[in-house]
Each structure stands twice: as structure tokens, then as C-alpha cells.
Amino acid sequence: MVKRSRFDFNLMRSLEVYAAIVETRKVTQAAQMLGITQSAASQHLQSLERAFETKLVDRYARPIELTQAGVILHRRAVRLLSEIEDLRSEMRRLESASVPLLRVGMLASIATTLMPVVTSFAKSNSIPEVACYAGLASDHTDLLRNRRAELVVTSDALYDSDGMDRFHLLNEAFLLVTPKGYEGPKDNLLELSRKLPLVRFSAATPVGKRTDQHLRRLQLDIERVTEADRSSMVTAAVHSGDAFAIMTPTLLLDAIQEGMQLDIVPLPAAGFRREITIVSRTGELGDLPEQLAHQMTDKLRSAIKKLGPVCETAVSYYAMDSNS
């Protein structure tokens, strides 16, 4: 094993010189190609041989012939130098980009709808690398605070966190969702729950907590039978005819796009709402979050319009003014 202390020279430069010697089979020609003296080229070759404690070339052969060790080193050197050149190119590319990496956390319910917006936005703003994470609003605080995301699209505006910019996209009402063609009672949630179970969002999710709080305010004691932590799972239970749900238009986007058949009406009792907001750390991305907010709002507006008039009228959209 070669000791690290023996590498008292520029290894990458020596490998570059060695690759040139192998390519030309002449030390003199390799030196000319690299713009160095013949003596310097020979010293690089000797340094490699001392470091690896083996002969790499037969100097008495004309042109130079490689030893077995020399063949192996050349093969590895070519790969290493290629990797280094790729690394240099990538570093130059990142250095020239105003935002080299954009990491975005999104609510799972709107991630599919907004993903094309993010990729198109990155391309138009010359952002070379994008990473997107779908999850719950409760995940987003950790993403931002631990610097694992530059911005999040969330239903929790993180008002308890300092140093954040916020760009509100929309405010939406919760609606009653029943199986397609269901003819039972829809004007009384308690009566409806006696005919169909309520499939809830898990109590650990922000939507689940909001729903449970609302039902308690209405003094509605609806039995907890089925729960799930993803909107697609909730809507699948309704689509099958086995349950009803309380959801917002954005929570219904994936279900409608997948062709699920559902009836959607306003909640019969006093309603409740939620906001969706872009949150980013103050000053780190310039005006990019605001630009992205405009594009995401347009995309969500278009997608929600396709859900029908009940969903369309349940949503209001914000002017894009930041408030920290």
C-alpha cells in the first residue's frame, strides 16, 4: 500500500503528463504538447514511479513501451482525468448560475400538478439542478430550518419562524365529497355519517387536525372508522362508494385527474378554509419565489377550474405581495 506521505507532488498534473507520454510514446513530444520542458516531464514520470514503487515504461525501447503496471495506471489515469474534467465543467457551470441548486418542498396533493411549473421555471432561469420533495405541511418546517430546501409550497405559512418571506397563492374552502350518484342525506353531516363512514385524514396530518378541530367546534361526534395520510387514499375510499370525506379543491386534483367519480358540494354546516403559501428564507433567492408564486397560481387556477363550478367558487387567489 502506498503511504500518503510519499505523495509530495501534484498527482493530477503528473497523471496528465503521464497520459501525454503514453499518447505520444515520446517524453520530448509530450513535453512540447503540454508546454513544459523535457526535464519537467521526466521528473513527473519519475515521481509517479517512485510513488507507486514500480517501473511504468521501458525507456530503452523506441518508441517507449509500457510495463504491465504502466498499462494499468494509464487505464486508471484516463478515467480519473475524465472525472476531473467533468468536475471542472460542473463547477464552472454552477459558478455561473445565480442559483446552482433549487430544492422545493411541496404538498403531496399538488406536487403532480406543480412539478411541470418547477422544471419549466428552472429551465427559464438557468437553474442547473432541481430537487423536489412531496410531503405534508408538517414536513416543511424541518426542510427550511435544516436547510434541506430553499422554499416550500405549504398550507402552514410558518408564522412562528423568523426570517421567512411568504407569498400567498390561494385560500380555499373545505367541501363535502361523496360517492358519485349518492342519494343519501347531504345537508347534515351527522345524519350522513350514519349512512356512510367519514374517511378522515390522519390526526397526525395538518388537514386531519384542522378537520377534527372543526367538527369539535360544531359539536359533531362522528365515529372514527377509517383514516389515511394521503389525499389519493382518501378519495379512493370515496370513489369506491364506501365513505364520504371533507376536502379542499387542491386535495381533489389528483383524484379528478385519475378519473375518479365523485360528487362535490359545499359543506352543509359552517365551513372552514386553508391557505397555500410559498415560504422561503428571506433574501436568499431574490425575486425568484415571487416569480414562481405567479406561475404556480396560474397553474392551480387552471387545474381547479377543471374540477367544476363548486370547486372553482370555493377558491380565492391572492395578489403576490410578500409579508415576512
Average pLDDT over residues 98-106: 86
38-52 and 11-24 helices, crossing angle to 10°: 110
Residue 313 lies in a domain: no
Nearest by Cα to 105 from 154, 160, 138 = 154
pLDDT in tens, 38-61: 898 888 888 888 888 899 888 777
Q: Does 241 share its domain with 203?
A: yes
CATH label of the domain that carries residue 15: 1.10.10.10
Q: Does 23 share its domain with 71?
A: yes
Residue 306 lies in a domain: no
Nearest by Cα to 237 from 112, 300, 229 = 229
| Final residue of a structural domain among 271, 286, 311 | 271
pLDDT in tens, 115-125: 999 999 999 99
Q: Does 8 share its domain with 80?
A: yes
Residue 259 lies in a domain: yes
Residue 97: half-sphere exposure toward Cβ, Cα within 13 Å: 20
Q: Does 182 share its domain with 164?
A: no
pLDDT in tens, 146-201: 888 999 999 988 888 888 999 999 999 999 999 999 998 899 999 999 999 999 99
Average pLDDT over residues 211-221: 92
Has this prediction a pTM greater than 0.75? no
Q: Does 117 share its domain with 163?
A: yes
Residues pairing with 57 in the sheet: 66
The total of structural domains in the chain comes to 3
User: What distance in Å separates the CA atoms of residue 40 and residue 43, rounded to the nearest whole number?
Assistant: 5
Residue 121 lies in a domain: yes
User: Which of residues 142 and 296 earns the better pLDDT score?
Assistant: 296
Domain containing residue 219:
175-271
- Does position 235 have pLDDT exceeding 60, yes or no? yes
Q: Does 222 share its domain with 142?
A: no
| Final residue of a structural domain among 228, 253, 271 | 271
Q: Does 21 share its domain with 78?
A: yes
- Does position 315 have pLDDT exceeding 80, yes or no? yes
User: Which of residues 78 and 243 earns the better pLDDT score?
Assistant: 243
Q: Does 152 share its domain with 281?
A: yes
Q: Does 244 share its domain with 291?
A: no
Average pLDDT over residues 242-260: 93
Average pLDDT over residues 210-229: 91
CATH label of the domain that carries residue 185: 3.40.190.10
Q: Does 186 share its domain with 158?
A: no
Q: Does 207 share its domain with 165?
A: no
Residue 283 lies in a domain: yes
Q: Does 167 share its domain with 286?
A: yes
Residue 307 lies in a domain: no
Residue 309 lies in a domain: no
User: Which of residues 1 and 189 earns the better pLDDT score?
Assistant: 189
Residue 43 lies in a domain: yes
Average pLDDT over residues 292-304: 96
